[in-house]
Chains A and B, each alone.
Chain A
Amino acid sequence: MDTVALLIIEVLNGIASLALTCAGLAIIFGMMRVINFAHGEFMMLGAYTTVVATNAGINIWVSMLIISPIVVGIIGIIAERLFIRFFYGRLVDTLIATWGLSLLLIGIVTAIFGNVITGVSAPLGNISIGEYNLSVYRLALIGLTIGVFVAIYLVLTQTKLGLIARGTMQNPEQASVLGISPPRVYMVTFGIGAAVTGLAGGLLAPISQVIPTVGFTYVAQAFITVITGGTGAVTGTLVASGVFGTVRQLVTYQTTPIIGGVALLIVAVILLRALPQGVTGKIFRRSL
């Protein structure tokens, strides 16, 4: 019984961390169709911000929930202004340019902090389920992920900002006729996407190793999940995270984390073969 409870929590946790990894990408790539290959490095920057801020004596919750998103959001806007905006609409060039940015960010962080593992310890301590010890933070992470997605959903559907953003993504010309400046909307949306990514990096910092190359472990899975999600970026990402997180965690439980990652990829390739438009291309069509 305890094992089953623990396994359920593990699966939920796997889904949550995958969904969190993808949240910012769902906005930048899912909505804006901008391929940000530096996504993993934005997460890495978020994680480093949390580590540095926490080590400087700031409360860990403040560093994770406030400082990380602000810092990475600003970095995202700078990158967007400096060069990503020149590549809008040119898929392959964006891919390569952001990937250059990704290597550059790794290089800069390596030069500053060195190629060593850092980290912060998870807050909230442990609880015991039967004979097992479980970090409360892992439970909190599930709630925090739900919070992040609810917030994204509400902003997109209930606020004027969300309406403008969605309208601009659908038809930039129409939006500019209505007096909205698409470049500014793109900039703000990219910044928000980067901020959410930084938040995710900060939130995952206590349960992962923080090294300059940590982004590599995130980027492939994040892209696969958002792509499998399809056009309805938020819903699709959640559904795909649910499927992949479950598969990965169950296989990992039976074998090793590496086989779990392989299983995720295989399921993704088969899913994409069956539903080339992604999950929201066939089902949940009118979702967001």
Chain B
Amino acid sequence: MRLALRLDDWDSRGLLFTGAIMVALLFAGPHIFDLFTLLKVILFIAMAMLALSMAFIWGYGGILCFGQSAFFGLGAYAYAIAMINMGESTVPILLSGFIPAAFAMLLGYFMFYGRLSDVYLAVVTLAVTLIFYAFMRSTSGEEYRIGSARLMGFNGISAVPGFNWPGFPDSPLWPDDIFYVAMALLILVYFGLRFVLRTHFGRVVVAIKENETRAELLGYDVRFYKMIAFTIGGAIAGLAGCLSVAFNNFVNPDKFALAFAAQIIMWVLIGGVGTLVGPMLGSLALLMLYNWLGTQAFAEFLNTYLVFGAIIIVFVLAVPQGLLPTARTLLNRYTPWGDASATAQSASRSGAGDD
């Protein structure tokens, strides 16, 4: 732990820049965006948070989860169902983090204590999200209800009440307030993850990613550490799902769909595996591309599957590190603002520092 903040490496620079930009956005947001844009920004914040959860478990935990969307959707549904039943948003928001976390822990127990890794893990998590998708789509009947909330199948639950001031069910939060809550939550999660990565626990998690056998021989129970990391990721993804419901008061099974699960991995892949900021920027860039494609006339031929598939292939072949680490390597090499530990960092592909 450093006492003074130095600016000669990307780690501190990233922390400072990202923190400054996010805090500036927190205060400036409602003043620079009109209402329509502000609502969109809330959605982007939710997605950035989802990207953070994936960045953490994949980039730092080495857990390639193909079904992070399962926790996102579970959080969204948990919030919607609890909110409709309770009418006051404090407990539903907590539940939207807690239920996915509990589910992630259960799933993590089976996977990590069963020693599933790599492809096995990817397939199981993928199957889980697909099952949620299929199940939720089939719940259109009258008999599928939890309390007073009907699940409504593929139509989704609409008119879910948004956030209200804690303890005052009759005073809802306006979009400005929801923006503040969302942005503050994102900042909290970002700095929270940065903090976790500096603790003993975080260092062990990264050590397991770097060399699982060595970590195990040093006496760490890798199964337990992976399960907890996975649980943290599940909780964050669930909260992101909750924010996405607060954005448009709507949740449908598409939150579990494969196309969405795929996007989450792309965000991290494009932004940079092993960074936190990269995936957030990746989610922003791809969501904008997605929105733009949706408005284009040629989208029928150049559909999103085609474009995203091509992007993935190009990135895996040409920019396997992702944009942020690549940019950092280039800056180190060709500009005077090189990192103090640049040579050590660019030498190892996966050890791209944390920022």
A258 near B110 with CB under 8 A, answer no
Residues 62-106 (chain A) with a chain B CB within 8 angstroms? 83, 86-87, 91-93, 95-97, 99-106
**Is B114 interfacial (CB-CB < 8 Å)?**
yes
What are 29 A-B interface contacts by the 8 Å CB criterion? Answer: A86-B317, A87-B316, A91-B118, A96-B269, A96-B312, A97-B312, A99-B265, A100-B308, A100-B309, A100-B310, A100-B313, A100-B316, A103-B262, A103-B308, A103-B312, A107-B306, A107-B307, A107-B309, A110-B306, A111-B301, A111-B302, A111-B306, A220-B127, A224-B124, A256-B138, A269-B110, A272-B120, A276-B114, A276-B116
A83→B313 contact, CB < 8 A? yes
Contact of A108 among B110, B115, B127, B306 (CB under 8 A): B306
Please, which residue of chain A has its CB at the minimum distance from the CB of B316? A97
Most buried by B among A83, A100, A106, A108: A100
Separation in Å of the A21 CB from the closest CB of chain B? Answer: 14
Please tell me if the beta carbons of A107 and B320 are within 8 angstroms of each other in the complex: no
Interface of A is mostly: helix
Cα A150 to Cα B200 in complex, Å, equals: 55
Q: Quick check: B313 and A110 within 8 Å, CB to CB?
A: no
**Chain A: minimal CB distance from B298 (Å):** 10
> Which partner residue on chain B sits nearest A266 by CB separation?
B131
Partner of B317, one of A83, A104, A227, A261: A83
Asked whether B171 is an interface residue with its Cβ less than 8 Å from the other chain, the reply is: no
Contact B122 A102 (CB under 8 A): no
Residues of A within 8 A of B258 (CB): 216
A272 with B262, Cβ < 8 A, contacts A93-B316, A95-B122, A103-B306 known:
no
Q: Beyond A95-B122, A111-B303, A262-B135, is A220–B130 a contact (Cβ under 8 Å)?
A: yes
Whether B128 sits at the interface, judged by CB under 8 Å, is yes
Chain B residues with CB under 8 A of A107: 303-310
Instruction: Give A178-220 interface residues, CB cut-off 8 Å to B.
Output: 212, 216, 219-220
Is A35 part of the contact surface with B, judged by Cβ < 8 Å? yes
Q: Are A224 and B135 in contact (CB under 8 A)?
A: no
Within A248-262, the residues touching B (CB, 8 Å) are 256, 258, 261-262
Q: Tell me the smallest distance from the CB of B337 to a CB of chain A, in Å.
A: 31
Footprint of A on B, CB under 8 Å?
64, 110, 113-116, 118-120, 122-124, 126-128, 130-131, 134-135, 138, 258, 262, 265, 269, 300-313, 316-317, 320
By beta carbon, the residue of chain A nearest B308 is: A103
Is the CB–CB distance between B305 and A103 below 8 Å?
yes
Query: Interface extent on A, as a size class?
Result: 35 or more
For A93, list chain B residues within 8 Å (CB): 316, 320
B262 and A99 form a contact (CB under 8 A) = yes
Query: 9 extra interchain contacts, Cβ-Cβ under 8 A, other than A87-B316, A212-B305, A224-B123?
Result: A100-B313, A103-B305, A107-B309, A224-B127, A227-B123, A261-B131, A265-B131, A272-B124, A273-B114
Report the separation of the CA atoms of residues A103 and B266 in the bound assembly, to the nearest whole angstrom: 12
A102 to B110 alpha-carbon distance, docked (Å): 28
Asked if residues B316 and A269 are in contact (CB atoms below 8 Å), the reply is no
Q: Is A48 an interface residue (CB 8 A)?
A: no
Closest beta carbon of chain B to A86's beta carbon, Å:
7
A223 within 8 A of B: yes
Which of A111, A212, A262 makes the CB contact (< 8 A) with B131? A262
From A35, A104, A219, A262, B309 is in contact (CB under 8 Å) with A104
Determine if B120 and A227 form an interchain contact, defined as CB atoms under 8 angstroms apart: yes
Residues in chain A near residue B303, CB distance under 8 A: 107, 110-111
B131–A216 touching, CB < 8 Å = no
Min CB–CB distance B319 → chain A (angstroms): 12
Q: A217 — nearest CB in chain B belongs to which residue?
A: B130
* The 8 residue pairs across chains A and B that have the minimum distance between CB atoms: A107-B306, A100-B312, A104-B309, A103-B309, A107-B305, A273-B114, A100-B313, A223-B123
